[in-house]
Amino acid sequence: MYHFESDYLEGCCPQILDALRETNLEQTLGYGEDPHCSKAADMIRYVFGCPDAEVHFLVGGTQTNATVIASLLRPHQGVLCAESGHINIHETGAVEHGGHKVLALPSRDGKISAAQVRAALEAHQSDFSREHMVQPGMVYISFPTELGTLYTKEELEDLHQVCSEWEIPLFIDGARLGYGLEASGCRLLPKDIARLSDVFYVGGTKQGALFGEAVVFTRPRLAEDFRYCIKQNGGMLAKGRLLGIQFEVLMNGGLYFQLARRANRLADRIRAAFLRKGIPFLVENTTNQIFPILEIGAIDRLTGSFGVERWQPVDETRTAVRFCTGWATTESAVAALEAYIEANL
Amino acid sequence: MYHFESDYLEGCCPQILDALRETNLEQTLGYGEDPHCSKAADMIRYVFGCPDAEVHFLVGGTQTNATVIASLLRPHQGVLCAESGHINIHETGAVEHGGHKVLALPSRDGKISAAQVRAALEAHQSDFSREHMVQPGMVYISFPTELGTLYTKEELEDLHQVCSEWEIPLFIDGARLGYGLEASGCRLLPKDIARLSDVFYVGGTKQGALFGEAVVFTRPRLAEDFRYCIKQNGGMLAKGRLLGIQFEVLMNGGLYFQLARRANRLADRIRAAFLRKGIPFLVENTTNQIFPILEIGAIDRLTGSFGVERWQPVDETRTAVRFCTGWATTESAVAALEAYIEANL
Amino acid sequence: MYHFESDYLEGCCPQILDALRETNLEQTLGYGEDPHCSKAADMIRYVFGCPDAEVHFLVGGTQTNATVIASLLRPHQGVLCAESGHINIHETGAVEHGGHKVLALPSRDGKISAAQVRAALEAHQSDFSREHMVQPGMVYISFPTELGTLYTKEELEDLHQVCSEWEIPLFIDGARLGYGLEASGCRLLPKDIARLSDVFYVGGTKQGALFGEAVVFTRPRLAEDFRYCIKQNGGMLAKGRLLGIQFEVLMNGGLYFQLARRANRLADRIRAAFLRKGIPFLVENTTNQIFPILEIGAIDRLTGSFGVERWQPVDETRTAVRFCTGWATTESAVAALEAYIEANL
Amino acid sequence: MYHFESDYLEGCCPQILDALRETNLEQTLGYGEDPHCSKAADMIRYVFGCPDAEVHFLVGGTQTNATVIASLLRPHQGVLCAESGHINIHETGAVEHGGHKVLALPSRDGKISAAQVRAALEAHQSDFSREHMVQPGMVYISFPTELGTLYTKEELEDLHQVCSEWEIPLFIDGARLGYGLEASGCRLLPKDIARLSDVFYVGGTKQGALFGEAVVFTRPRLAEDFRYCIKQNGGMLAKGRLLGIQFEVLMNGGLYFQLARRANRLADRIRAAFLRKGIPFLVENTTNQIFPILEIGAIDRLTGSFGVERWQPVDETRTAVRFCTGWATTESAVAALEAYIEANL
């Protein structure tokens, strides 16, 4: 049985395994102060067109979100995000564990708008009892969102604008950044992500690495003493070079983007297969996650042949499921799934 | 130049690289709920003779300490430890970030005694203003300590006894557990560690793994909801199997202990070389760390040929340095160092 | 101009001033270990019919909520409450500062139902990724709610029932408890509050005291080491007897309830005056807060004569305002307000 | 029996009771935004010669310390203080509850020196692994200290100097500030306290008020959003005017200092009585606390007639005890104590 439940079911792209083997007996300083981290940071600055950015490497996404947010907020501040945001739902309250409230905004498609952010900031500022409320101190979005949707360039420009006006940082969770940038129809370039955010991260775990997320502070002043914060939050890997080595490989020759592009194309094929059968989707998107709405009986049969995640009930008889493709997804598995959809749904 | 600064300068033992390659395309559930973690946990329970223990895998030591401590204490409680304890000095206040005071006890050799713990508990209990003070809620020790020293079996029995009497957990940081158990003169067996603690961890990072620490709750009741706490503290690796795979390799055929034993024997040779020259040590120990006290000029010359960590000044002209051996330390490097010591110190 | 903005605009009922003067030169132990606190606790246990309860005194409501919640939850747990709950909106994230997420449930009238709580608990329990989510660890309600509404006896029985089944504490914020118990139509007695909750507090600040809230743990086991938590959260008043003295006065001869009853009757008169003019209310209630919906122009004129709080916009031309009565509200002020309403609205 | 255990055994100076009665029926805004707080802040700015300072009122000392410290530090920073500092010992870890480590420096007399602070800052800065350690982010001292000792003007100038150089705030806990400034031999004026600190507080609880501490930020930039922090830490009193009224009274005509002076003179008499009998002191000081060292048998007899706090054992047969005078201490009680000492010790 082939599994489409998530994009972190396998190990890593073989180039990374090769690099780990080649470098295995090198002796380097620990904690990210090695030549591999240094070179990987340079490559990321180059690829994202932000030569002055400060780059740090952490192990996982929850850790990265909690660390960035704790390092940027004062105690009475909270972080604005979509109610479906990963930090609001699926990080076991890591942000709150660090002392901060997640200020959730309603969202239908995983996105929040500049207008929502502006309204929240203005409402706070104009409330006579605002000192009794958590002050919005930054904005968190993900690109792509939890639902695989993407901000347009214009939407991101607007969010960046409102954050600049109000002088609060805009943080982009890029756990699946490559899948977003390589989606068909996406007009954003890597340098736009850097230009339109104050801090973002380049996700490795779901895009070909064993693990690892590269945090990029495009306004380096915000990164002051960030390494202390990494350590305090348990994210400073002793053999930090493992992160540098992996991002060297992924940034080399655009591999990171190639892997994402390939996965997106496979996702497009699956999406098209459902479309051909007139099957609706929970949300329209163009990245590596696909959310068709299926009859429960059909899901039960499908899961005899393919692994898939039950995402959320839609009505009494139908549930949205999630298919993910990734760097490791095989052509043959997708072909088999296409055939199954054609024949059985 | 060969480096002896620490035991995490290289990648991992080759068997682990092989296992990563062999398993790379397996599709498994994430977050530690895969067959490799399950099997590795079984192996650890077997090796440490604690069939009912609950085993969890985390990425690094600071994260592990912070998570275990936060999960065991109530808000008004703190953790007793040696003033030189890793949690007190070298974790950027991760324990305090989680809301708890580290209650440091004086220590000359990195150890604390049952008598000290008992005295602290009794002093707290008998203080009429104890409610204005942090309540000691658990005990943290490391085996070996930061100075590479070891608790004797009797000392550990006594600590276990006082913790049992006062009904507070005893937590053993085993970042270098193997080096301790395989030290010449150590009469403790793996099962003694399990028997004499409430929770301990088996360190992988410094003992042949790329990364990873296996937390063992010998009183499973203390592990209730521990996975929530791992997630909240950013320690739940998406591809959790990477931890399981590594510990499967290390536990297989006693590799974990063999690697430690070999490193200890190399350390013994270095220790003997200093002894032959009448060079004193900061502390007497038998594990993989050696702390000779050298003239500053001698250190400056030495570090032209060998990497070594300046540990702490002893007086105006002398400083203690640290040499570490590890799974990757070569015979030839040790031989070269022996020759250097003989000829130059 | 007479002010109806809140129920904490004045000092305290004169009996308390008298008691402070009479006891002023007594020498007593600090921190709540004095005879006045002891006697006041006895009186509260008697009045609320909970002879085995543990009673503690704190200074203010936010402090009380944060302390109770921090003392009851484990780190990965959160507190279920109405989205309009005071802890969710108006405490500057004090609960999150203590590390816990507020799990807000939708609410139209300030209340949450047993069905909502049960659904939240079941949804959490049945979610396969629940360890990635904050675990609901207790329920917070207020009686009366932020909107001055009341749980019926049946509703409270049901909430108590679901909390008992799931073995999580039910905490009642009683900042205005007297106003609730003395509301016309309320069938709950003080002993019902004790019987149907695990911990509640008797609010003093808004009910005749200078300040002070009496926390009552009806399950004393939950109060273990609570005094440490009070101190840690900055709520242990040095001259703790000030709290005891005030609650002695308030509990003496039912003064606490008399003051509330009188304020409620004055509120009823104001409510009736609006009703006579056909003016709608934001919410129907029978306690000391009244929320009529008025044209903005009418509010502007009204506030030339009476102080009133603008609560929330209802539509483009109308806003709900809040009138509060309290122990200090004068008959003449209410009469003047009645006349104003009759003549001008 | 007359009690000398502490300086918070009684209520408050009668002028405060009078003022509470006179203002009792005034209707004012809550949360410290009333005319009394405003006027009291003006008076404090005038008395301490800091016209641009920002002044806030909180209820108690632990709350004040925790709030000031949490508002000034970033997450990875800690606060330097004497190991005997109140925040390190007697606040149940409130600073750690807020996420910060207390960085305790050795101290024999309750004071720390500029040299100690400088050494700690330099040691941190020069440590190659400093990012693994808590960064010293501010300095906390108390004036007088826990042992009733005082910094000289020169010592305070030096501390201020080193904090300025390193750009970290110096915070003075003034729970007994008046007793310090009015001590015989003290050459510091109120304006010196303001000039030589970045933030300090004027203690009310132990100096004639029912409760209350006035925080003074002499660098107003440090006070940004401090009211949010007060609320978050549970220190924002609903009827905030109670704090303003009390400080109006205390600042009026120098009452605060007169009360302290009188208490100090009574303490001097007690001190002299012990001196005449050749009884040694735990520490030499000139404020309202006296720490004679007495035989345990003598203490047992003494406490039949006078209340006194057993402070700390000195050797097997002797213990230091603490006598406190305060605004309420009577001449007759002191005379009786003098006679007792003369006759019995």
D222 and D289 share one domain: no
A contact set with C (CB within 8 A): 75-76, 78, 89-93, 96-102, 129, 131-134
Reported in sequence order, the residue ranges of D107-255 that DSSP labels E, i.e. its strands, are 135-142, 170-173, 199-203, 213-217
Structure tokens at C45: 């246990």
Instruction: Please tell me the distance in Å from C84's CA to the nearest CA on chain A.
Output: 12
pLDDT value, residue C332: 97
Residues from chain B contacting residue D93 (CB–CB below 8 Å): 76, 78, 99-101, 134
| Distance of alpha carbon A63 from the chain centroid | 13
Choosing from B255, B290, B321, the residue where a domain stops is B255
Claim to verify: residue D190 and residue D244 sit in the same structural domain: yes
Asked if C89 and A133 come within 8 Å (Cβ–Cβ), the reply is yes
The CATH number for B100's domain is 3.40.640.10
Q: Shortest Cα distance from A233 to chain D (angstroms)? A: 10
Residue pLDDT, tens place only, B286-300: 999 999 999 999 999
Q: Say yes or no for a CB contact (<8 Å) between A131 and D228.
A: yes
The answer to whether the beta carbons of residues C211 and D235 sit under 8 Å apart is no
> Quick one: which H or E segment has residue A195?
helix A190-195
pLDDT band at C310; cut points 50, 70, 90: very high
Give C91 to chain D, closest Cα distance, Å.
Answer: 6
Chain B residues lying within 8 Å of D75, measured CB to CB = 97
Average pLDDT of the residues in B133-160? 98
What's the confidence (pLDDT) of residue D334?
Answer: 98
Element containing residue A47 per DSSP (H, E): helix A35-47
Q: What is the tally of helices (H) and strands (E) in chain A?
A: 14, 13
pLDDT digits (tens, 9 = 90+) for A11-59: 999 999 999 999 999 999 999 999 999 999 999 999 999 999 999 999 9
Alpha carbons A197 and A121: distance in angstroms, whole number: 18
C209 and C280 in a single domain? The answer is no
**In whole numbers, what is the pLDDT of chain A averaged over residues?**
97
What chain D residue is nearest to C64 in terms of C-alpha separation?
A: D234
- What is the model's pLDDT at position B185? 93
Q: What is the number of residues in chain D?
A: 345
Q: Give yes or no: residues A145 and A224 share one domain.
A: yes
Among A76, A92, A134, beta carbon nearest to C131: A92
Query: Which domain-ending residue is among B226, B255, B284?
Result: B255
Residue A92: list chain C partners with CB under 8 A: 76, 131-134
Mutation choice for A interface testing from C8, C96, C131 by most A CBs within 10 A: C96
d(CA D8, CA D10): 6
Q: Are residues A265 and A250 in the same domain?
A: no
Test D232 with C206 for CB contact under 8 angstroms. Answer: no
SS (H, E, C) A210-254: CCCEEEEECCHHHHCCHHHHHHHCCCCCCCCHHHHHHHHHHHHHH
**Which H or E run contains B338?**
helix B331-344
Amino acid letter at A289? Q
Number of domains composing chain C: 2
Nearest C-alpha of chain A: how many angstroms from C134? 5
Cβ–Cβ below 8 Å for A134 and C78: no
Do A44 and A193 sit in the same domain of this protein?
yes
Does B71 sit within 8 Å of C225, measured CB to CB?
no
Q: From chain D, which residues contact B within 8 Å (Cβ)?
A: 75-76, 78, 89-93, 96-102, 129, 131-134
Task: Answer whether A92's CB lies under 8 Å from C129's CB.
Answer: no
Closest chain D residue to the Cα of C233, Cα to Cα: D94
Q: Which of A206, A231, A255 finishes a domain?
A: A255
Name subunits touching C (3+ CB pairs < 8 A): A, B, D
CATH number reported for the structural domain that contains residue D300 in this entry: 3.90.1150.10
- Sequence letter at residue C238: A
The pLDDT score that the predictor gives to residue C184 is 95
3-state SS, residue D274? helix
- In this prediction, what percent of chain B has a pLDDT beyond 70? 100
* pLDDT of A59: 98
* pLDDT value at residue D127: 94
- Report the pLDDT value the prediction gives residue B202, as an integer from 0 to 100: 98
Say whether B229 and C75 touch across the interface (CB within 8 A): yes
Residues C36 and C169 in one domain: yes
* Residue B90, pLDDT score: 97
C3: closest chain D residue by CA:
D27
Per-residue pLDDT of chain D (345 residues; tens, 9 = 90+): 999 999 999 999 999 999 999 999 999 999 999 999 999 999 999 999 999 999 999 999 999 999 999 999 999 999 999 999 999 999 999 999 999 999 999 999 999 999 999 999 999 999 999 999 999 999 999 999 999 999 999 999 999 999 999 999 999 999 999 999 999 999 999 999 999 999 999 999 999 999 999 999 999 999 999 999 999 999 999 999 999 999 999 999 999 999 999 999 999 999 999 999 999 999 999 999 999 999 999 999 999 999 999 999 999 999 999 999 999 999 999 999 999 999 998
A333 & A237 share domain: no
C184-203 average pLDDT score:
98
Calculate mean pLDDT across residues A212-222: 97
Instruction: Please list every residue in chain A whose beta carbon sits closer than 8 Å to the beta carbon of residue D33.
Output: none
The whole-angstrom separation of Cα D2 and Cα B191 is: 61
Are A239 and A261 members of one domain?
A: no
Q: Are A119 and A48 in the same domain?
A: yes
Which residues, in sequence order, are CB contacts of D174 under 8 Å at separation 6+?
D142, D143, D180, D193, D200, D201, D202, D203, D213
Burial letters B35-53, b for 16+ CB under 10 A, else e? ebbebbbebbbebbebeeb
3-class state of residue C321 by DSSP: strand
Band (pLDDT 50/70/90 cuts) for residue C186 is: very high
**Yes or no, beta carbons of C8 and D231 under 8 Å apart:** no
Name the residue facing D131 among A131, A132, A228 (closest C-beta). Answer: A228
For residue A138, which phi and psi values (nearest 5 degrees)? -165, 170
Q: Smallest CA–CA separation between B27 and chain C, in Å? A: 18
**Option in B3, B11, B92 nearest A20 (CB):** B11
- Here the tokens at position B173 are 């940081």
Q: pLDDT tens across A241-268, in order?
A: 999 999 999 999 999 999 999 999 999 9
C258-282: per-residue pLDDT in tens? 999 999 999 999 999 999 999 999 9
At what angle are helices C241-251 and C255-276 packed, to 10 degrees? 70
Domain of residue D62 covers 14-255
Q: What is the pLDDT of residue D244?
A: 98
Question: Using CB atoms, which residue from B96, B100, B132 is nearest to D91?
Answer: B132
At residue A322, the pLDDT reads 98
Question: Interface partners of A (3+ CB pairs, < 8 Å)?
Answer: B, C, D
The phi, psi pair for A316, rounded to 5°, reads: -65, -25
The kind and range of the H/E element at D341 are helix D331-344
CB contact under 8 A, C242 and D211: yes
Write down the pLDDT at residue C293: 98
Nearest to B70 among C31, C75, C232 (CB): C75
Distance CA B141, CA B92 (A): 18
* Mean pLDDT, chain B, whole residue set: 97
Contacting residues of B for A205, CB less than 8 Å apart: 238-239
Confidence of residue C313 (pLDDT cuts 50, 70, 90): very high
Among the partner residues C76, C99, C134, nearest to A99 by beta-carbon distance:
C99
Nearest residue on chain D to B134, judged by CA atoms?
D92
**With contact defined as beta carbons under 8 Å apart, do C80 and C163 qualify?**
no
Give the 3-state secondary structure of B31-87. Answer: CCCCHHHHHHHHHHHHHCCCCCCEEEEECCHHHHHHHHHHHHCCCCEEEEEECCCHH
Partners of B8 on chain D (C-beta within 8 Å) are none
The per-residue pLDDT for B122 is: 98
pLDDT 10s digits, C137-184: 999 999 999 999 999 999 999 999 999 999 999 999 999 999 999 999
CA angle C205, C266, C180 (to 5 degrees): 50
Report pLDDT digits (tens) over B22-32: 999 999 999 99
Neighbours of chain B (3+ CB pairs under 8 A): A, C, D
Instruction: Determine whether the interchain pair D131/B92 forms a contact, defined as Cβ–Cβ distance below 8 Å.
Output: yes
> Average pLDDT in the B304-323 region?
96
- Are B231 and C98 a contacting pair at CB < 8 A? no
Q: What percentage of chain B exceeds 90 in pLDDT? A: 100
In chain A, which residue's Cα lies nearest the Cα of B4? A27
Of B92, B99, B133, nearest to D97 by CB-CB distance is B99
Q: Flag if C242 and D206 touch (Cβ within 8 Å).
A: no
Tokens 């008889």: give the residue: A317
CB contact under 8 A, C205 and D67: no
From chain B, the residues in CB contact with C228 under 8 A are 76, 131, 135
pLDDT confidence of residue A281: 98
Cβ of B232 within 8 Å of Cβ of A93? The answer is: yes
Task: Determine which of D4, D18, D62 to mutate to test the interface with C (most C C-beta atoms within 10 Å).
Answer: D62
What are the chain A neighbours of D225 within 8 Å (beta carbons)?
A: 74, 76, 131, 135
State whether A59 and A203 are in the same domain: yes
Q: Are strands D318-324 and D289-290 parallel, antiparallel or unpaired?
A: antiparallel
**B70 to C70: CB separation less than 8 angstroms, yes or no:** no
Tens digits of per-residue pLDDT, A268-325? 999 999 999 999 999 999 999 999 999 999 999 999 999 999 999 999 999 999 999 9
- In this structure, what are the phi and psi dihedrals at residue D175, rounded to the nearest 5 degrees? -55, -35
**Do A210 and A262 have their domain in common?**
no
User: How close, in Å, is residue B4 to chain A by CA atoms?
Assistant: 9
